Amino acid sequence: VAEPRWLDEREARIWHAWLAMNRDLQVAMDKQLAEFGLSAAEYAVLVPLSERPDRTLRAGELSRVLGWGRSRLSHQLRRMEGRGLVHRCDLETDGRATMVRITDKACELLAAAAPGHVEAVRRYLIDVVTPAEARAILGLAERVQLAVRSGVPGCAEGG
Amino acid sequence: VAEPRWLDEREARIWHAWLAMNRDLQVAMDKQLAEFGLSAAEYAVLVPLSERPDRTLRAGELSRVLGWGRSRLSHQLRRMEGRGLVHRCDLETDGRATMVRITDKACELLAAAAPGHVEAVRRYLIDVVTPAEARAILGLAERVQLAVRSGVPGCAEGG
DNA sequence: TAAGATTGATATATCAATCTTC
DNA sequence: GAAGATTGATATATCAATCTTA
């Protein structure tokens, strides 16, 4: 294997700025939700449910929307059912499926937390980016995700 | 409380692109390290230790460098000591302090993993950003962290 | 057999409480 | 009491194994 191309000072600065920015942003968003007694995972689960007319989704659908594995969602729903945030019941049409419904209590909690959440998104990101940076984010996101999905770094075939 | 300013379509697209980009990038980086049997947390702990001439750091120093709480580091070190990646011993000068040393085994593991890690950073981010986007990241990171550190969103004092 | 979901084991992350030493 | 560190409890995240139904 050839000598790896280590990061130069500017490249390292970009990488570390990136990591620090995301770490801080995530911590801040978590804290904001915590003021309403909600975790980021709970909020993520509740939002798609609340947007349904019947406040209900199949577990598999929810898993797909969130981009979570079934196992992860199942564990999360168990804890949330214990906290009275969601309710699970069987689907008559298909004995394998599980229906998930957001409770009234969780709906109220979500309605209370959502304005502050959006406010935080604005304060920490949207109000802070210049139009040029916003364009950079949108363009970069596409290319990063393309690189991530196409490239397995363990087997560097071309480089 | 006034009606919250919900995100318009473009703003929501920016926020979701941001979240998806970081989620995918983090998953990809974790997978890369997993090829060498290392987690992101383990890698983060080992790097500062390996950069020391004596391969040693005070736990408190390590905690500061990583930006981790003492408790988090302590739990992590316990698991890593169990795996034979680090060794802990008391400091003679100060009976309260703990010295952490990276093991030979972990040094070799790190040396094996580091090139692929840097390669992944390049492939997924550095090689993908345009110079303008790189400038955007550096500038944005400063402002985002400023906003995060100054603003408590729960009490919107200014409007 | 495969799809949908749950379970158990393990690792990670945070908080409060504790323990030792200064 | 305060600093440095550990511990226990709980929540989160991933993987493999399992269970039920189609």
Q: What is the pLDDT of residue B145?
A: 87
Q: What is the pLDDT of residue B34?
A: 95
pLDDT band for position B63 (cuts 50, 70, 90): very high
Give me the CA B88–C1' C21 separation in Å, rounded. Answer: 18
pLDDT band for position B2 (cuts 50, 70, 90): confident
Rounded mean pLDDT of B91-115?
97
Please name the residue whose C-alpha is nearest to the C1' of nucleotide C4: A96
B71 touches strand D (CB under 7 A): yes
Percent of chain A scored above 70 by pLDDT? 94
Q: What is the pLDDT of residue B73?
A: 98
Q: Greater confidence, B157 or A87?
A: A87
Rounded mean pLDDT of A30-43?
96
Rounded mean pLDDT of A133-156?
82
The answer on pLDDT for A10 being more than 50 is yes
CB atoms within 10 A of CB A114: 18
Q: What is the pLDDT of residue A159?
A: 28
Q: What rounded mean pLDDT belongs to chain B?
A: 92
Residues A65-79: tens digit of each pLDDT = 999 999 999 999 999
Q: What is the pLDDT of residue A4?
A: 85
Tell me which chain B residues have a C-beta less than 8 angstroms from the C-beta of A137: 14, 17-18, 21, 136
Interchain pair A128, B119: CB under 8 A: no
Rounded Cα–Cα distance for residues B27 and B37 (Å): 15
C-alpha torsion B116→B117→B123→B125, nearest 10: -170
Rounded mean pLDDT of B9-21?
94
Give me the CA A3–C1' D5 separation in Å, rounded. Answer: 40
Residues A90-133: tens digit of each pLDDT = 999 999 999 999 999 999 999 999 999 999 999 999 999 999 99
On whether the CB atoms of residues B65 and B48 are closer than 8 A, the answer is yes
The answer on pLDDT for A135 being more than 50 is yes
Rounded Cα–Cα distance for residues B157 and B71 (Å): 34
Percent of chain B scored above 70 by pLDDT? 94
Tell me which chain B residues have a C-beta less than 8 angstroms from the C-beta of A149: 24
Q: What is the pLDDT of residue B30?
A: 95
DSSP chain A: -PPP----HHHHHHHHHHHHHHHHHHHHHHHHHHTTT--HHHHHHHHHHHTSTTSEEEHHHHHHHHT--HHHHHHHHHHHHHTTSEEEEE-SS-TT-EEEEE-HHHHHHHHHHHHHHHHHHIIIIITTS-HHHHHHHHHHHHHHHHHHHH--TTS----
Taking CA atoms, A99 is separated from A49, A55, A59, A108, in Å, by 11, 10, 6, 20
Q: What is the pLDDT of residue B25?
A: 94
Nearest to B116 among A123, A147, A154 (CB): A154
B78 touches strand C (CB under 7 A): no
The answer on pLDDT for B158 being more than 80 is no
Q: What's the sign of the alpha-carbon dihedral A29, A34, A38, A42?
A: positive
Of A142, A46, A18, A110, residue with least CA distance to B16: A142
Interchain pair B137, A11: CB under 8 A: no
The answer on pLDDT for B8 being more than 80 is yes
User: For every residue of A62-101, which 3-state class applies, written as one string?
Assistant: HHHHHCCCHHHHHHHHHHHHHCCCEEEEECCCCCCCEEEE
Q: What is the pLDDT of residue A1?
A: 64
Q: How far apart are the first and last CA of chain A?
A: 11
Nearest to B154 among A22, A32, A139 (CB): A32
B109, with CB counted inside 10 A (0-12, 13-18, 19+), is buried
SS3 for B58? Answer: strand
Residues B39-60: tens digit of each pLDDT = 999 999 999 999 999 999 999 9
Rounded mean pLDDT of B126-147?
93
Of the listed ranges A79-83, B81-85, B91-95, B154-158, the least confidently predicted one is B154-158
Q: What is the pLDDT of residue B156?
A: 41
Q: What rounded mean pLDDT belongs to chain A?
A: 92
